[in-house]
Every structure is written in structure tokens, then in C-alpha cells.
Chains A and B, each alone.
Chain A
């Protein structure tokens, strides 16, 4: 596709459930980023891949958060045992020439 595609766009989970958020980057983009954006805040870095290698996961808030990109294209962000504080928009971006191209995000609401 022409842009970064994320699914689902909206996800409601009960506290304690596991969720998986998918990102399909722009074809050929080597670098892929995940960000978390809480209401009224700017995006906060979570993790970064170059191809299938996860080069930086310093922003993942806890060991309940896990990201993978096994074939160097599609990436999945998994959140285990969701908590209310995990409610946010999760943004995926791919990069070329220093510019990040963002998807529309996955809005997670944990009840």
C-alpha cells in the first residue's frame, strides 16, 4: 500500500487480557518504530527495528510489552495482561531519509 497501515484501528480490552497490534510499513522501508501516545501528550518512543533486528527497546514500559518483526516487514506489538494505564494510541512509523511516515494508529482502551 501507499502508506503505513495499522490494525485494528480501535481495540477495547478488559483488564488482564492480552492484545496484539499490527503494523504494515511502507514497502521497502527498513526502519520501523513504535510509539505510544497518551491523551493530550506527544508520542513516546517504545521500540525500533532495522529489518528484523530490534535495535532499541528502551522505551517499552514493562516486560508486559513485546514487539517483533520476524521477516523484516510486518511488525506486531503485543501487550500482555493489559492494565488501564496502557490505554493510549499506539503509533507505528517507518522511515526513509530521516523522515518518519506514521500510520493512523491503534487506539487501545482498557476497561
Chain B
């Protein structure tokens, strides 16, 4: 079945550590890719998106993601995390249809 996989379910880091969250999808062809973040008690909001062009996408709050077509991956990175990055992160994909398919999410905890 076509799906979006986030293999890291729970990540714990200290402040200033580097972050990489994995996202893989199983759709072939052209896809649109997204990372959403949900801070505690808040609604889902867009971190960054990729539609076409430069496969290295920069988003808000110092996050970036790299689209690697050959690996069907769209991993999220941040060189130095902060306590305020504690949140749940969701990768999402849409292809051909209007609906966005989400991964199961990765819970990030950053300790001071």
C-alpha cells in the first residue's frame, strides 16, 4: 500500500544537538512533500514544503529538508535544536489527488 513512513517515533536530544528526522514514501512519480509541526497545545502548522526545483528546501525556524528522489526520502534537519523545538513533527505527501497523506509523526523532546 502507498504510505508515508516516519521511522523515528520518539527522539530525545539536548539543546544544541543536531537533528535529523527520517521520512520515506512509497509513491512513484511526481509528489509534493511537506513537513508539519504541532507544538504542545497548538494546531498543526507548516514548517516547509517541496513542489519542484532545488531539492534542498529551507523552512521556518532554521529547519531544512532534502528531497532525494532515488531514495524516496524527504528528511528534516536542523543543525542545532532549541528547547522550543519540542513538538511533534509530521511528514506528509500528496500525489495526483488533493488529499494529503500523513506519517504517524515523530515526537521530539529537547532538554536544556
Binding site for B on A (CB under 8 A): 3-4, 31, 33, 35, 40-45, 48, 50, 55-56, 59, 91, 93, 95, 98-100, 102-105
CB-defined contacts of A40 to chain B, threshold 8 Å: 104-105
CB-defined contacts of B97 to chain A, threshold 8 Å: 56
User: Chain B contact residues (Cβ within 8 angstroms of A): what range?
Assistant: 20 to 34
Per-residue CB contact flags for chain B residues 47-70 toward chain A (1 = under 8 Å, else 0) read 001010000000000000000000
Per-residue CB contact flags for chain B residues 29-62 toward chain A (1 = under 8 Å, else 0) read 0001010100000111110010100000000000
A6 CB to closest chain B CB (Å) equals 9
A41, A45, A93: which contacts B101 (Cβ < 8 A)?
Answer: A45
CB-defined contacts of A45 to chain B, threshold 8 Å: 99-101
CB <8 Å contact, B102 and A44: yes
CA distance A55 to B51 in the complex (A): 23
B103 CB to closest chain A CB (Å) equals 5
CB <8 Å contact, B102 and A43: yes
CB <8 Å contact, B43 and A41: no
CA distance A4 to B42 in the complex (A): 12
CB-defined contacts of B74 to chain A, threshold 8 Å: none
CB <8 Å contact, B99 and A99: no
CB <8 Å contact, B98 and A31: yes
CB <8 Å contact, A42 and B102: yes
Which partner residue on chain A sits nearest B103 by CB separation?
Answer: A42
CB-defined contacts of A31 to chain B, threshold 8 Å: 98
